[in-house]
């Protein structure tokens, strides 16, 4: 393997480059690399490149190595790669004349590229499983919150009454789009580089579609250079996870604000909170803080991986290997964040009474009062907006509650503002300023009226069922392929 080189790797190269990478790869890649070995071997035998007799000896030795497991594999940094350490174990069992034939018609380049894609797809499906679970938990909460009225916010100021279910529906739609991005990214990842060789394929008459099928890929990559050089899927996976974490961070930030004493609308469970070392009254929502912070790690990962890849030649180089650090770290961060979010949402409590009272008292209902003036007085919305704006300003100056608005006040202010007396019915004013009636009236498509939110949640549930089915299909397919390779007979 190092025939061209006259000396062994230096102590520094072994300690700081080779051994750390070997230990990480043994833990992360052993199973997938063994599957690649089996799939490649079956193809070599089927094409007559390796005899059935030799193939059986190799298969038996691979099975022995596999049964002992990753932890039993001795690592020698002088061999540089995980595969060559596995090959050394294989040759120790069957000799170089037999064991050495396994590496026919492939390179460490296409081997590593294949295993990296297999590792990535496994991790991506695991993250997507957690995303599915979070969507299920949020959907359950939303279905219980159809009639929980609260203020919606823009610019962090009270805007208009909505329901908690309407808000959660919005979060669910964002997570649905996250799944679509994961599905697309998975399809970009799940194509096989095996058979690309070092970069120029091979003169052996191999069957790349056979190995692609055996290993659960959709198909083989069409170009051998692209097979070993392509890492755009890595950036796509990072970008997809970055967008998911951004959505989780924004959701966490809302819950974080709502859980403050000043808002007092939400409370995290004791099981996901921490206390102060000095202030005994404190209940700190630490899971939300960590999720928000972890989203920052994903931004850094996207930038770092892109910076590494942007000036690499379109072929194989060790720079490409360095970029994977950010992918594996990001999978870990996203996995942790989803677990934390699921645990938080499952035990979250909302102060429904305070939510309603805030919506009743914080002037969020007066947009509908302007709408009522337009409908009953037949004036332009611009004029109605001016009337209500002056009305709110006066009430705030005089510290008068929104519940005290009456027809006389509107009549007086309209005369002053637009030179015309506007007369509303008591029922019209009450309906506009009642948060419940206010929400019920917003029954346009996508609105907060419970009847409309029910439609949204039905649509979300249908899509979730389809997405769950897609996820299960991929998991079953990969598990089936793995079992077939486990029971391989020559």
Instruction: Work out the pLDDT band at 212, boundaries 50, 70, 90.
Output: very high
CA–CA separation, 188 vs 413, rounded Å? 62
> What is the rounded distance in angstroms from the CA atom of residue 325 to the CA atom of residue 24?
10
Over residues 204-230, mean pLDDT: 97
pLDDT band at 440 (very low <50, low <70, confident <90, very high): very high
Percent above pLDDT 90 for the chain: 89
Q: How sure is the predictor about 77, in pLDDT bands with cuts at 50, 70 and 90?
A: confident
Q: pLDDT tens, 348-362?
A: 999 999 999 999 999
State the average pLDDT over residues 240-255.
98
pLDDT band (50, 70, 90) for residue 80? confident
pLDDT band of 488, cuts 50, 70, 90: low
Rounded Cα distance, 435 and 363, in Å: 10
Q: What percent of the chain clears pLDDT 70, i.e. is strictly above it?
A: 97
Cβ atoms of 132 and 464 closer than 8 Å: yes
pLDDT of residue 476: 98
Q: Does 41 have pLDDT greater than 90?
A: yes
The region of weakest confidence among 4-8, 269-273, 444-448 is 4-8
Does the pLDDT at position 2 exceed 70? no
For residues 7 and 30, give the distance between their C-alpha atoms in angstroms, rounded to a whole number: 28
Query: Among 19-23, 29-33, 241-245, where is mean pLDDT lowest?
Result: 19-23
Question: Average pLDDT for residues 197-203, to the nearest whole number?
Answer: 97
pTM of this structure: 0.94
Please tell me the distance from the alpha carbon of residue 352 to that of residue 365, in angstroms, as a whole number.
17
Domain boundaries, the chain: 11-104, 109-139+160-357+454-482, 366-433
Place of tokens 């645990």: 343
Q: Does 109-139+160-357+454-482 match 366-433 in CATH topology?
A: no
| The domain over range 109-139+160-357+454-482 is classified in CATH as 1.20.810.10 | no
Q: What is the model's pLDDT at position 441?
A: 95
Q: What is the DSSP string of 55-100?
A: HHHHHHHHHHHHHH-GGGS---GGG-SHHHHHHHHHHHHH-HHHHG
Average pLDDT over residues 400-412: 93
* Average pLDDT of every residue of the chain: 94
Which residues make Cβ contacts (< 8 Å) with residue 431, sequence separation at least 6? 372, 437, 438, 441
* pLDDT confidence tier of residue 407, bands split at 50, 70 and 90: very high
Mean pLDDT over 144-151 rounds to: 98
Element (H, E) at 341: helix 318-346
CA pair distance 449, 452, nearest whole angstrom: 5
CATH architecture of 366-433: Orthogonal Bundle (1.10)
**Rounded-to-integer distance, Cα 83 and Cα 34, Å:** 9
For domain 11-104, give the CATH number: 1.10.275.10
Instruction: Name the band, by pLDDT with cuts 50, 70 and 90, for residue 300.
Output: very high
Helices (H) and strands (E) in the chain, counts: 19, 6
CA 463 to chain centre: 17
pLDDT-based confidence at 11, cuts 50/70/90?
Answer: confident
**Rounded Cα distance, 64 and 103, in Å:** 18
**For residue 1, pLDDT beyond 70:** no
Query: What local confidence, expressed as pLDDT, does residue 249 receive?
Result: 98
**Least confident residue range of 208-217, 309-318, 337-346:** 309-318
Beta bridge partner(s), residue 219? 191
Q: How confident is the model at residue 24 (pLDDT cuts 50, 70, 90)?
A: confident
The alpha carbon dihedral of 406, 412, 418, 424 has a sign of positive
Confidence of residue 56 (pLDDT cuts 50, 70, 90): very high
Burial code (b: 16+ CB inside 10 Å, e: under 16) for 83-112 equals bbbbbbbbbeebeeebbebbbebbbbbbbb
């Amino acid at each position: 393997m190092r025939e061209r080189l006259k000396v062994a790797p230096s102590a520094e190269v072994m300690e700081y480059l080779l051994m750390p990478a070997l230990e990480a790869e043994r833990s992360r890649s052993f199973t997938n690399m063994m599957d690649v070995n089996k799939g490649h071997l079956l193809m070599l035998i089927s094409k007559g490149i390796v005899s059935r007799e030799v193939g059986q000896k190799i298969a038996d030795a691979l099975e022995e190595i596999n049964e002992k497991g990753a932890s039993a594999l001795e690592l020698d940094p002088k061999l540089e790669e995980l595969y060559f350490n596995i090959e050394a174990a294989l040759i120790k069992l069957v000799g170089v004349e037999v064991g050495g034939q396994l590496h026919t018609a492939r390179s460490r380049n296409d081997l590593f590229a294949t295993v990296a894609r297999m590792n990535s797809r496994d991790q991506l499906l695991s993250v997507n499983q957690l995303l599915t679970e979070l969507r299920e938990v949020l959907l359950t909460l939303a279905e219980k919150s159809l009639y929980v009225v609260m203020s919606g916010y823009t610019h962090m100021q009270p805007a208009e009454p909505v329901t908690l279910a309407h808000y959660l529906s919005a979060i669910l739609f964002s997570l649905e789009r996250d799944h679509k991005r994961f599905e697309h990214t998975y399809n970009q990842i799940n194509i096989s580089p095996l058979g690309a060789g070092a970069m120029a394929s091979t003169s052996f008459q191999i069957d790349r579609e056979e190995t692609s099928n055996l290993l659960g890929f959709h198909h083989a990559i069409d170009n051998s250079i692209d097979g070993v050089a392509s890492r755009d899927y890595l950036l796509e996976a990072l970008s997809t996870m970055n967008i998911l974490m951004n959505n989780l961070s924004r959701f966490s930030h809302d819950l974080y604000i709502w859980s403050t004493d000043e808002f007092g609308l939400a409370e995290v469970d004791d099981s996901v909170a921490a206390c102060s070392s000095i202030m005994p009254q404190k209940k700190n929502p630490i899971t939300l803080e960590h999720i928000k912070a972890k989203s920052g790690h994903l931004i850094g990962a996207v930038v770092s991986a892109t910076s590494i890849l942007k000036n690499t030649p379109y072929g194989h180089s060790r720079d490409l290997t360095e970029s994977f650090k950010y992918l594996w770290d990001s999978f870990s961060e996203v996995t942790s964040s989803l677990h934390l979010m699921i645990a938080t949402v499952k035990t979250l409590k909302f102060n429904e009474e305070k939510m309603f009272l805030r919506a009743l008292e914080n002037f969020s209902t007066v947009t509908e009062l302007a709408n009522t003036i337009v409908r009953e007085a037949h004036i332009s919305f611009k004029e109605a907006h001016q009337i209500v704006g002056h009305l709110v300003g006066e009430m705030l100056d005089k510290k008068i509650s929104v519940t005290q608005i009456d027809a006389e006040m509107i009549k007086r202010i309209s005369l002053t503002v637009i030179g015309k007396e506007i007369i509303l019915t008591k029922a019209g004013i009450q309906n506009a300023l009642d948060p419940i009636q206010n929400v019920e009236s917003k029954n346009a498509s996508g609105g907060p009226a419970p009847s409309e939110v029910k439609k949204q949640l039905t649509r979300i549930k249908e899509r979730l069922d389809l997405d769950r089915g897609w996820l299960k299909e991929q998991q079953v397919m990969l598990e089936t392929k793995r079992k077939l390779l486990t029971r391989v007979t020559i």
